[in-house]
Chains A and B, each alone.
Chain A
Amino acid sequence: MREIFDSTVERLFSDLVTPDAVLASESGRWPTALWKAVEESGFTLALAPESSGGAGAGWSDVCGVLRLAGRFNLPLPLAEAILANWLLCRCGLAAVGGPISFAPRAELCVEGGRVSGRAFEVPWGRSVDAVVALLPGEAPQLVLLAREGAGLECGANIASEPRDVLIFDAVTPLAQAPLPAGLPGDVLKLGGAMLRSAQIAGALEGVLAMAITYAGERVQFGKPIGSFQAIQHQIAVLSEHAAASVLAAEAAFAESGETLARLPVAAARICSAEAAGVGAAVAHAVHGAIGFTHEHALHLSTRRLWSWRSEFGSLTDWSQQLGRAVCLGGAGSLWPAITDGRLAALEEPLQ
Chain B
Amino acid sequence: MSIEQFKYSRIPPEAEALRSEVRAFLAETLQDYPAVRRADSWMGFDADFSRRLAAEGWVGMALPKRYGGGDASPFARYVVCEELLAAGAPVSAHWFADRQSGPQILRYGTEAQRARHLPAICRGEQFFCIGMSEPNSGSDLASIKARARREGDKWVVNGQKVWTTNAHRSHYMIALLRTGENSKRQEGLSQFIIDLSLPGITVRPIRDLTGSEHFNEVFFDELVLDANALIGTEGQGWSQVTAELAFERSGPERFLSSIALLHTLIDAVGKSPDALQATEIGRFAARLITLRNMSLAVTAQLAVGHNPAWEASVVKDLGAVFEQEIPELAQLLTDLPPTSQGGCDHAQVLAYLTQMAPSFSLRGGTREILRGIIARGLGLR
Contact = CB atoms under 8 A, between A and B. Distances in A.
B318 interface: yes
A212 B378 contact: yes
A205 B6 CA distance: 13
Nearest to A254: B8
Contacts of A319: 278-280, 282-283, 286
A327 B378 contact: no
B293 A247 contact: yes
B283 A247 contact: no
Interface in B258-276: 259, 262-267, 269-273, 275
Given A212-B380, A334-B263, A335-B86, A243 B6 contact: yes
B290 A267 contact: yes
A327 B269 CA distance: 7
A320 B282 contact: yes
B375 interface: yes
Nearest to B256: A335
Given A243-B314, A319-B279, A338-B292, A330 B267 contact: yes
A244 B291 CA distance: 7
B304 interface: no
A270 interface: yes
B317 interface: yes
Contact of B314 (A240, A271, A338): A240
Contact of B282 (A235, A248, A270, A335): A270
Given A235-B380, A240-B374, A324 B293 contact: no
Contacts, number: 160
Contacts of B318: 240, 244
Nearest to B275: A320
Contact of A232 (B272, B287, B289, B375): B375
Contacts of B10: 254
B293 A235 contact: no
A3 to B, nearest CB: 12
B13 to A, nearest CB: 13
A233 interface: yes
Interface string B78-91: 00001000100000
A248 B279 contact: no
A99 to B, nearest CB: 31
B267 A331 contact: yes
Interface in B62-107: 82, 86
A264 to B, nearest CB: 7
Contacts of A78: none
Nearest to B311: A243
Nearest to A328: B271
A322 B293 contact: no
B218 interface: no
B282 A243 contact: no
A251 B11 CA distance: 12
Interface in B293-325: 293-294, 297, 311, 314, 317-318
A266 B284 CA distance: 12
Contact of A318 (B282, B317, B368): B282
A252 B280 CA distance: 21
A239 interface: yes
B361 interface: no
B380 A274 contact: no
Contacts of A263: 289
B272 A229 contact: no
B289 A338 contact: yes
A102 to B, nearest CB: 24
A14 to B, nearest CB: 17
A12 interface: no
A339 interface: yes
Interface in A221-259: 226-227, 229, 231-233, 235-237, 239-240, 242-244, 246-248, 250-251, 254
B286 A266 contact: yes
Interface string A265-285: 011111100100000000000
A229 B3 CA distance: 21
Contacts of A326: 266, 281-282, 285
Contact of A270 (B7, B82, B283): B283
Nearest to A248: B290
B378 A235 contact: yes
Nearest to A237: B371
A250 B296 CA distance: 13
Task: Name the residue among B8, B280, B282, B283 with the largest chain A CB count within 10 angstroms.
Answer: B282
Nearest to B377: A239
Interface string A312-336: 0001101111111011101110110
Interface string A179-216: 00000000000000000000000000100100010011
Nearest to B280: A323
Contacts of B279: 316, 319-320, 323
Nearest to B263: A331
A37 B225 CA distance: 72
A264 B286 CA distance: 8
A323 B283 contact: yes
Contacts of B374: 236, 239-240
Given A247-B6, A327-B270, 16 more contacts: A212-B378, A243-B294, A248-B290, A251-B8, A270-B283, A270-B286, A319-B283, A321-B282, A322-B281, A323-B278, A323-B282, A326-B285, A327-B277, A331-B262, A332-B263, A338-B288
10 contacts: A205-B3, A231-B380, A235-B380, A236-B378, A248-B286, A320-B279, A323-B280, A323-B283, A327-B269, A332-B263
Interface of A: 205, 208, 212, 215-216, 226-227, 229, 231-233, 235-237, 239-240, 242-244, 246-248, 250-251, 254, 263-264, 266-271, 274, 315-316, 318-324, 326-328, 330-332, 334-335, 338-339
- Interchain residue pairs A-B with the least CB separation, the first 7: A323-B282, A319-B282, A322-B282, A323-B278, A232-B375, A270-B286, A236-B374
